[in-house]
Homo-oligomer: A and B are copies of this chain.
């Protein structure tokens, strides 16, 4: 117990200043403008000089080997300074312009890509999946890898009409940006929770479990003399909230779990207000390791967008210009009753005008 005295808590993160390149400190808050030198290479200029950022892809789920390699590169080319972006790319921060090309070369040799800036697909914001989460209806890392293998050329170039943000989440909790992405891939369950009447009475508080259901599908019941719950299957919309609250109501169902595709969300306020992502493909069964039906559908959407949108038009802005019907036509995706909203504010999504394209 000798060490206990030394135990410190609540110190918070280290102060960021320790980690800033001297050139950044000098220009801190005084930057004047930025330029793009090449896909993945940005130059930010302030009164005290220019810092060069070289952006490298990362699978996000990484090992200590990967991080050591990043450190080695940063030491070699960036005076030991680097950062990660809000989309999990690595950014090497270079004071010396001459280091750009050698760094890019070495990144390439190590099997990584430089890009993700401007009118490109950047890294995919994603979640834990079968790698770590009990809630997952699909894997996340595998889906990202499979999809980005198809779309890598749009990471290393800037030939899309605008930024294109892809997100993957493995269940409806949507730990990430699924609800506001240009294209989102969402794992989902399609069957109600199965109830383990053996363990439920001990594991879960009945009122909390009942209250967890947004659609009032859960009712208390009694099985073999013990109070447990039952689910009105007609009311269950497979959200999994009950499982989050009560472990005895698992959702996983290999036959029926799978993936949906969503389009047209955005976050920035540029031009149009932030938009939610809307349903495109309601369901594709899980088909690991490469989910070919998902990757080809996503790729198709990207290609149709690339071919049809105008410059600086995000996916959602493009669809709104041409109309949703045209989007379904162009991508060959079937419009079904599942696309019609039936949740809380469904009525606000019905078309209440005569504005329509014929």
Contacts and interface: CB of A to CB of B under 8 A. Distances in A.
Interface of A: 269, 273-274, 345, 347-348, 352-355
Q: Please list the 10 inter-chain residue pairs (A to B) with the smallest Cβ-Cβ separation, ordered nearest first.
A: A273-B353, A269-B354, A345-B345, A269-B353, A273-B355, A274-B353, A348-B348, A269-B355, A345-B348, A274-B352
A10 B352 CA distance: 34
Contacts of A273: 352-353, 355
A1 to B, nearest CB: 53
Contacts of A347: 345
12 contacts: A269-B353, A269-B354, A269-B355, A273-B352, A273-B353, A273-B355, A274-B352, A274-B353, A345-B345, A345-B347, A345-B348, A348-B348
A273 B320 CA distance: 14
A274 B354 CA distance: 9
A355 B272 CA distance: 9
Contacts of A269: 353-355
Contacts of A274: 352-353
Contacts of A345: 345, 347-348
A100 B188 CA distance: 71
What is the copy number of this chain in the assembly? Answer: 2
A177 B33 CA distance: 53
Given A274-B352, A345-B348, A348-B348, 7 more contacts: A269-B353, A269-B354, A269-B355, A273-B352, A273-B355, A274-B353, A345-B345
A352 B348 CA distance: 16
A271 to B, nearest CB: 10
Nearest to A275: B353
A354 B268 CA distance: 9
A353 B274 CA distance: 6
A355 B273 CA distance: 7
Contacts of A352: 273-274
A269 B355 CA distance: 7
Nearest to A347: B345
Nearest to A351: B273
A350 B37 CA distance: 41
A177 to B, nearest CB: 16
A102 to B, nearest CB: 40
Nearest to A354: B269
A180 to B, nearest CB: 11
A348 B354 CA distance: 22
Nearest to A353: B273
A353 B354 CA distance: 27
A100 B50 CA distance: 77
A299 to B, nearest CB: 31
A29 to B, nearest CB: 21
A347 B343 CA distance: 14
A159 B112 CA distance: 66
A101 to B, nearest CB: 38
A348 B349 CA distance: 11
A152 to B, nearest CB: 33
Contacts of A353: 269, 273-274
Contacts of A348: 345, 348
Contacts of A355: 269, 273
A347 B355 CA distance: 25
Nearest to A268: B354
